[in-house]
Amino acid sequence: MTRLQGGTVAGLALVAVLALAGCAPTTPAPVPTVEQTLEPGDAVTNSANPELRPGESAAANKQFFDFVNSGFIAANGKSDGKSIIDNLIAAGFAKQDMEVTPDRTSIDLEADSIIFSVRIEGECLIGQSSGTGYHSELAPLLGTGGCLVGTTRPIDW
């Protein structure tokens, strides 16, 4: 390719980019919304300070679970499993219904995340604390009767 042809190709590429730039929409595309699906009988509150709903479903208690955990993790960082479980107990969740993953890996490094759960009315509230913050979900009980797969640590304190 000669110097002239290279310049011509570059010039045509620039013209094509500028022409295509004019094809971009001037208004941003709409952002899809996510809706939470609830089962009949599940309660939802829009309270800034949700409350524990003993005897009700996991879905009815998820807002409180998230409120307790997100506030704790925002104030304390990733933290450790014992502190997270102690905070859930202080909030009124039953210790015997909880599971938590170890704070350290099998080669004694700090775990990237800590996953914890509470069994409520045959379902699981599962939370995760990591360097990216707090995340949670509702899940069915496993065939084992627990919520977490893999190794969990005893909650014997």
Segment 54-87, tens digit of pLDDT: 999 999 999 999 999 999 999 999 899 999 999 9
At residue 2, does pLDDT exceed 70? no
Backbone angles phi, psi at 121, to 5 degrees: 50, 45
Q: Could you give the angle at which helices 58-76 and 81-91 cross, rounded to 10 degrees?
A: 130
pLDDT of res. 60: 98
At residue 99, does pLDDT exceed 90? yes
At residue 156, does pLDDT exceed 80? yes
- If you average pLDDT over residues 135-155, what whole number do you get? 96
Cα 101 from Cα 9, distance rounded (Å): 59
- If you average pLDDT over residues 119-131, what whole number do you get? 97
- If you average pLDDT over residues 99-126, what whole number do you get? 97
pLDDT confidence tier of residue 157, bands split at 50, 70 and 90: confident
- If you average pLDDT over residues 122-137, what whole number do you get? 96
pLDDT of res. 81: 97
Question: Each residue of 121-136: b (16+ CB within 10 Å) or e?
Answer: eebbbbbbbeeeebeb
Sign of torsion, CA 65 71 74 78? negative
Cα 141 from Cα 108, distance rounded (Å): 29
pLDDT of res. 47: 60
pLDDT of res. 154: 93
> Would you list the domain boundaries of the chain?
56-157
